[in-house]
């Protein structure tokens, strides 16, 4: 008898060992992500990093600050992500609940019809027990999966890490939202400045048109000169409406980001061209791993995916469950509380190993490994993208600054040439085309100067976002 039992135990162990083997992932073991980045951006070794600066300290315009505050409170996309964060937190609670036994109150009423010539029917007849008796029951039922392979624990850890990843995703959304509000704000400022310049030039051109008309009456110029000046005035008057439409669209974009219906945007309108872009310190590339929310989110996804692989691997191993019941049972409801005669209880433990559905388990395991590998690639791409973006924007900030300085000198020279051409024209030493072209060149240079300033400000906003700043 003892040998038979030992053989049975040996057979069970053999089955468990055979069925619990984990197949090898076709692409091999998951590799560690490559976190190597260059030591500096073009030789800049200063570790001071503007990403640590809060957006309130970075943007000094109080009106812009009010808009950003309103957007963070009311933006619908951000509120959706906040709800997702709550969902992720609830998922942790749900996974944590899997640790504990499931206990429920059970109450039941049933009746069984047994055959007269069945074993139970014959036994009941021999003992004078009536057939088809009802059964009343009341009690507790419990089941508990023993987490011997840390499957449940790893599921909880994975849910916790994904909650943190979701939080970084919200930080990323705030960073992008702040950058988009600031960019749209500066674009709107630039449009107001452009409109002011166009209106000033229209006034100058109308005065020049008056002079040309007088000179035509004095037969000093032809009707052609008058028509060319009139066309130039009309051209710039038409330009006003195109600018006005752009202003409406930009205001609507800002209002949408603020989660409100269209309304005028209150902003600083004076001295746009004199604004200085915020001072930025890029720090060193390795700080991107600490500051950029997308990089931190990608890293957390790797950790969660690694735990998911362990969970999927545990599905190959035997699952140990304990089931227990404790209650009262009787065919007569009046005798249901006859303790201990009506007392019933049960306790069982079972060990289950997957046999038939191993292909499905294997597929889930391989998918988990593939998702882990995918997460590694996402992380490496986030690092590379961040470095390339910062490097490009650093170059852009420098080149735009140099270009703005030269463009400022160009505007000064062309402004001076307007007066010169006007005097020469009045003394008949220059024809009307020289005056017209000089004014046109000066206007375009002024507009280009505003555009250059706008690009400077937008580049500073983009660099601040690329470094990981804006969500604090």
| CATH classification of the domain holding 127 | 2.20.200.10
Q: Does residue 340 have a cis bond before it (omega within 30 degrees)? A: yes
328 lies in a domain? yes
Whole-number pLDDT of residue 354: 78
Determine the Cα–Cα distance for residues 365 and 466; give it in Å rounded to an integer.
Answer: 36
Regarding whether 327 and 450 lie in a shared domain, the answer is no
Establish if 116 belongs to a structural domain: yes
- Residues 283, 137 share a domain: no
Is residue 472 in a domain?
no
**Short-list 320, 321, 324, 322, CA closest to 106:** 324
187 and 308 co-located in one domain: yes
* 60/160 same-domain check: yes
6 found inside a domain: no
Domain boundary at 299, 329, 352, which?
Answer: 352
**SS3 assignment, position 256:** helix
My answer on whether 123 and 266 are in the same domain is no
Eight-state DSSP code of residue 468: T
In this prediction, residue 351 carries a pLDDT of: 83
- Residue 196 has a pLDDT of 92
Mean pLDDT rounded to a whole number for the chain: 86
Instruction: Kindly report, residue by residue over 148-202, the tens digit of the pLDDT.
Output: 889 899 999 999 999 999 999 999 999 999 999 999 999 999 999 999 999 988 8
Show Cβ contacts of residue 253 under 8 Å, excluding neighbours closer than 6 positions.
Answer: 184
State whether residue 74 is helix, strand or coil.
helix
Residues 387 and 275 in one domain: yes
pLDDT tens, 120-144? Answer: 777 777 776 666 778 888 889 988 8
Between the ranges 226-235, 245-254, 346-355, 423-432, where is the mean pLDDT highest?
245-254
Residues 29 and 94 in one domain: yes
Does residue 434 share a domain with residue 339? no
Residues 299 and 401 in one domain: yes
Same structural domain, 50 and 91: yes
Residue 3 lies in a domain: no
Residue 15 within any structural domain of the chain: no
| Pairing of the two strands 319-330 and 134-146 | antiparallel
Both 36 and 63 in one domain: the answer is: yes
The answer as to whether 224 is a domain residue is yes
- The domain of 93 spans 21-99+150-317+366-466
Q: Is residue 14's pLDDT more than 50?
A: no
Q: How far apart are CA 38 and CA 348, in angstroms?
A: 61
How do residues 70-122 score in pLDDT, each as one tens digit? Answer: 999 999 999 999 999 999 999 999 988 888 888 888 888 888 777 777 777 77
With respect to residue 200, please indicate whether it lies within any of the assigned structural domains: yes
Using an 8 Å Cβ cutoff, are 258 and 70 in contact? yes
Same domain, 324 and 403: no
Hey, what are 41's tokens?
């951006």
The CATH code of the domain that includes 232 is 1.20.1600.10
Kindly indicate the confidence band of residue 331, based on its pLDDT and cuts at 50, 70 and 90. confident
Q: In which band, very low, low, confident or very high, does the pLDDT at 428 lie, cut at 50, 70 and 90? A: low
pLDDT at 128: 67
Q: Helix 358-426 vs helix 151-217: angle between axes, to the nearest 10 degrees?
A: 20
Q: For the chain, what is the domain count?
A: 2
User: Confidence band (pLDDT; 50, 70, 90) for 18?
Assistant: very low
State the DSSP string of 319-386.
Answer: EEEEEEEEEEEESSGGGTT-TTTTEEEEEEEEEE---TTHHHHHHHHHHHHHHHHHHHHHHHHHHHHH
The whole-angstrom separation of Cα 378 and Cα 375 is 5
Buried b (16+ CB within 10 A) or exposed e, 404-420: beebeeebeebeebbee
């Amino acid at each position: 008898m003892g040998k038979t039992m030992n053989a049975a135990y040996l057979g069970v162990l053999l089955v468990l060992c055979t069925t619990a083997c984990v197949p090898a992932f076709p692409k091999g073991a998951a590799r560690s992500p490559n976190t190597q980045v260059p030591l500096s951006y073009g030789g800049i070794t200063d570790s001071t990093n503007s990403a640590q600066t809060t957006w309130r300290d970075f943007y000094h315009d109080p009106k812009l600050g009010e808009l950003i505050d309103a957007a963070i409170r009311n933006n619908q996309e951000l509120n959706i992500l906040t709800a997702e964060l709550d969902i992720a937190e609830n998922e942790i609670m749900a996974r944590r609940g899997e640790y504990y036994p499931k206990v429920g109150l059970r109450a039941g009423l049933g009746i069984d019809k047994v055959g007269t010539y069945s074993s139970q029917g014959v036994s009941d007849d021999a003992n004078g027990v009536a057939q088809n008796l009802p059964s009343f029951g009341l009690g507790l039922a419990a089941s508990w999966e023993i987490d011997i392979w840390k499957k449940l624990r790893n599921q909880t850890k994975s849910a916790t890490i994904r909650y943190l990843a979701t939080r970084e995703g919200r930080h990323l959304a705030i960073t992008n939202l702040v950058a988009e509000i600031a960019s749209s704000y500066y674009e709107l400022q630039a449009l107001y400045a452009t409109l002011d310049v166009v209106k000033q030039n229209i006034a100058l051109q109308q005065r020049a048109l008056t002079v040309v008309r007088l000179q035509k009456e004095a037969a000093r110029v032809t009707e052609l000169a008058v028509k060319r000046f009139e066309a130039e005035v009309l051209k710039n008057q038409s330009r006003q409406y195109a600018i006005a439409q752009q202003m409406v669209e930009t205001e609507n974009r800002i209002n949408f980001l603020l989660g409100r219906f269209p309304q005028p945007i209150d902003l600083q309108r004076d001295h746009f061209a004199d604004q200085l872009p915020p001072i930025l310190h890029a720090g060193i590339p390795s700080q991107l791993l600490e500051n950029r929310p997308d990089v931190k989110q990608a890293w957390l996804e790797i950790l969660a995916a690694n735990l998911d692989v362990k969970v999927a691997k545990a599905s190959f191993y035997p699952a140990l469950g304990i089931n227990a019941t404790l209650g009262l049972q009787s065919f007569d409801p009046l005798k249901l509380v006859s303790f201990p005669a009506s007392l019933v209880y049960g306790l069982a433990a079972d060990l289950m190993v997957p046999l038939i559905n191993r292909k499905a388990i294997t597929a889930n395991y391989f998918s988990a490994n593939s998702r882990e590998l995918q997460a590694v690639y996402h992380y490496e791409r986030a690092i590379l993208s961040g470095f390339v973006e910062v490097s490009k924007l650093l170059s852009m900030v420098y080149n735009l600054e140099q270009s703005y300085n030269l463009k400022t000198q160009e505007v000064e020279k062309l402004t001076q040439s307007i007066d010169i051409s006007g005097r020469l024209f009045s003394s008949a030493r220059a024809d009307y085309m020289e005056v017209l072209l000089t004014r046109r060149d000066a206007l375009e240079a002024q507009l280009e100067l505003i555009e250059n300033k706008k690009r400077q400000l937008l580049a500073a906003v983009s660099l601040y976002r690329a470094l990981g700043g804006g969500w604090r």
